[in-house]
Structure formats: structure tokens, C-alpha cells
């Protein structure tokens, strides 16, 4: 066995969870969730509001006790070895942990002191992080004068000053506009490239997670689908066809035998398309005169999420769903 392989066999996964469960009274926030995330992976836990993402991160980072199940970070059990877990991880939550009255540099220094770093280490790492996150010129500004995007960047810098092996980012781009969201993603990418950290992030901006190595969709506390984002997207087909018009129910019934399952959302009928360019062009030519609007586009992670719902509803068609489904599952 070569050295790299031997090391990977001997190194425990960065994050492991086995049937992790959290119940709040009647609410099953996380329901027997199991995960194994190898060291260095960029993992996205994706799901709508209230699906259990934050509760999962809180259990993995020792902030709340699971009702049932177990989890380990770098081999340390979150219940019996919580101190080692806390030394191993960095956490950045939705509510910033920054002191508004302190400057950028002071916030980093304060965080470094909390982690027991030496003055020299704090200085070196602060300089490096400020440079990485575009904060060097703002070093003496109080946090209250920073833009939302830079505050978020500083919050992440603060969360990694102790150079954790595993970083949890809970909705790192929530509330930011698109340019700032892109910027935060760039920073996370640079951080990973330089430090080789394992990153678990949660987001409900699904399309943003396309750069993750692996994503898992969580719904009502359960992982309902996981895989490499590009493979999940490709598995939908080459295109998504969106149709607007009248009597969409009838059109859906007509096309379903050829195109498979469909989603009917309000005024829009959606099909997945698997076929070559000529078949697609023929279909477009056939449909265009019969509908008010026809859009053909590449699928994305949002579509993966929508079609998971469809697939689940398909298995239990008697259940009420806000997304009526087609009569046949896609091949």
C-alpha cells in the first residue's frame, strides 16, 4: 500500500455521524442522519428553512446534545471528547460573533487570545487572513463601519484564526447581495486551497453549492439525496424544458408518455429532457406554436431539489403535494 493510501486509511474521517437525531418535543428536527466526510472535503448540506441544517451543525460542533445517535470529529466523540472536538473545529454561525466596537485587527487579536495563541502567532495569522479576505486596508476600522460582505468575511477569518482542521459554516452568504456572496465563496475557496481544511457548509441558496465536492439534500431532518453536484445535475438530463400556456394539464398528459414525469408549478409546466440536439430542436419546433412561452435551459442544483420532491411524491401518489406530478417516472 502506498504512503498516501496508508495515511488515508489510518486517518479517521473529518466528520462522522451515525443516526444523529434531535427531537424538540413534538418536532423531530434531525432524524437519524448519518454522514461520513473525509478529510479535506468541501461538503454542502443543502435544504430549505427549517429542514434541520443548523441543528445538525450544532450537534456536530458540541453546542447541543443529540437525543440519539453519535458523531465524531477527527475521531473525537462529540459527547465524550467535546474539548478535543472544540480544539479541532472552527464555527461561523448565522449571527456574527464580532464585537462591533472593536476594529478588524482587534477582533482577530481577541479571537486569537481566546484560543490561547501566542502574540507572534496572532500577528502572523491576522496579517495572512486580512490579506486573504481583502481586509488589510480596513484593519483599523471598527466593525460597525464595515459593509455586510466584509463583516461576513471578518467573521469567517475570526472563525479560522486557530487554523482548525474542520470548519463549519452555517449559511455563510445569507443576507448578502450577489457580488458579496460571490466574494465570500472566493474567500472560502482560497482558504481551502491554502489550508486544506475540511469544510461543511449549510446553505439554502442551492445553486451556490455547485463548487462543493459533495452535497447532501436535507428535508425534515433526513438526508434525501447526496452526491457530486455535477453528477446529480447531469442525472436529470441535458435540459429542463419550461412551458407556459393554457390547459397545461392536458398538455402534460399528452407529453408525459414521451418525456416522462413533470412538475406543474402554478403557470409553468416543467419536463426533464434527455436526448440529442436534433431531438431537442424538433421538440421545440413542435411545441413553440402551441404554447405561450417555451424556455429550454441547463439544469442546476435547484432542479435537483425540485425533482427529489417529485420523485418522492411519485412513490406515494396518494399523498397531497403542492406539486402535482406526471403519470410516469422518467426512465
Ligand X SMILES: Nc1ncnc2c1ncn2[C@@H]1O[C@H](COP(=O)(O)OP(=O)(O)OP(=O)(O)O)[C@@H](O)[C@H]1O
Does 173 bind ligand X (CB under 6 A)? Our answer is no
Tell which one of 21, 31, 42, 52 touches ligand X (CB under 6 A).
52
Beta carbon of residue 143, minimum distance to ligand X (angstroms, whole number): 23
Does 24 bind ligand X (CB under 6 A)? Our answer is yes
Tell which one of 51, 62, 103, 198 touches ligand X (CB under 6 A).
51
Does 103 bind ligand X (CB under 6 A)? Our answer is no
> How remote is the C-alpha of 279 from its chain's centroid?
34
Quick check: 142 and 101 in contact, CB under 8 A? yes
Tell which one of 12, 38, 40, 50 touches ligand X (CB under 6 A).
50
Stretch that binds ligand X, among 23-31, 133-141, 143-151, 277-285 (CB under 6 A): 23-31
Near ligand X in 183-202, by CB under 6 A: none
- Rounded CA-CA distance 8/229 in Å is 23
Does 54 bind ligand X (CB under 6 A)? Our answer is yes
Cell numbers at 85, concatenated: 472536538
Beta carbon of residue 29, minimum distance to ligand X (angstroms, whole number): 3
Cell numbers at 117, concatenated: 495563541
- Rounded CA-CA distance 126/105 in Å is 7
Does 12 bind ligand X (CB under 6 A)? Our answer is no
Q: Per-residue x/- mask for ligand X, residues 28 to 47, rule CB under 6 A? A: -x-----------------x
Q: What are all long-range contacts of 290-293, with beta carbons under 8 Å and residues at least 24 apart? A: 290/245, 290/251, 291/243, 291/244, 291/245, 291/251, 292/244, 292/245, 292/246, 293/242, 293/243, 293/244, 293/245
* Chain contacts with ligand X (rule: CB under 6 A): 24, 27, 29, 47, 49-55, 204
Amino acid at each position: 500500500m502506498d504512503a498516501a493510501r496508508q495515511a488515508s486509511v489510518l486517518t479517521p474521517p473529518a466528520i462522522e455521524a451515525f443516526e444523529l437525531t434531535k427531537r424538540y418535543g413534538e418536532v423531530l428536527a434531525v432524524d437519524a442522519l448519518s454522514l461520513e466526510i473525509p478529510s479535506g472535503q468541501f461538503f454542502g448540506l443543502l435544504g430549505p428553512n427549517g429542514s434541520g441544517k443548523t441543528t445538525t451543525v450544532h450537534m456536530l460542533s458540541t453546542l447541543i446534545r443529540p437525543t440519539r445517535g453519535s458523531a465524531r470529529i477527527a475521531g473525537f466523540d462529540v459527547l465524550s471528547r467535546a474539548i478535543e472536538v472544540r480544539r479541532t473545529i472552527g464555527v461561523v454561525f448565522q449571527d456574527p460573533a464580532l464585537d462591533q466596537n472593536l476594529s478588524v485587527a482587534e477582533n482577530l487579536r481577541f479571537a486569537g487570545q481566546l484560543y490561547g495563541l501566542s502574540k507572534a502567532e496572532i500577528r502572523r495569522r491576522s496579517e495572512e487572513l486580512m490579506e486573504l479576505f481583502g481586509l488589510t486596508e480596513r484593519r483599523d476600522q471598527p466593525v460597525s463601519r464595515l459593509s455586510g460582505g466584509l463583516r461576513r468575511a471578518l467573521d469567517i477569518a475570526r472563525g479560522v484564526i486557530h487554523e482548525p482542521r474542520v470548519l463549519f459554516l452555517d449559511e455563510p452568504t445569507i443576507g448578502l447581495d450577489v457580488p458579496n456572496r460571490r466574494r465570500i465563496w472566493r474567500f472560502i475557496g482560497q482558504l481551502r486551497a491554502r489550508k486544506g481544511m475540511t469544510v461543511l457548509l449549510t446553505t439554502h441558496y442551492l445553486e451556490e453549492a455547485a463548487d462543493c465536492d459533495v452535497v447532501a439534500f436535507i428535508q425534515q431532518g433526513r438526508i434525501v439525496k447526496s452526491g457530486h453536484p455535477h453528477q446529480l445535475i447531469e442525472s436529470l438530463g441535458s435540459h429542463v424544458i419550461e412551458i407556459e400556456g393554457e390547459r397545461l394539464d392536458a398538455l402534460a398528459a399528452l407529453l408525459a408518455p414521451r418525456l416522462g414525469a413533470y412538475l406543474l408549478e402554478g403557470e409553468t409546466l416543467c419536463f426533464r429532457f434527455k436526448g440529442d440536439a436534433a431531438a431537442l430542436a424538433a421538440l421545440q419546433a413542435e411545441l413553440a406554436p402551441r404554447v405561450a412561452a417555451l424556455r429550454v435551459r441547463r439544469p442546476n442544483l435547484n432542479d435537483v431539489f425540485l425533482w427529489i420532491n417529485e420523485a418522492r411524491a411519485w412513490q406515494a401518489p396518494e399523498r397531497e403535494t403542492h406539486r402535482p406530478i406526471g403519470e410516469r417516472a422518467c426512465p
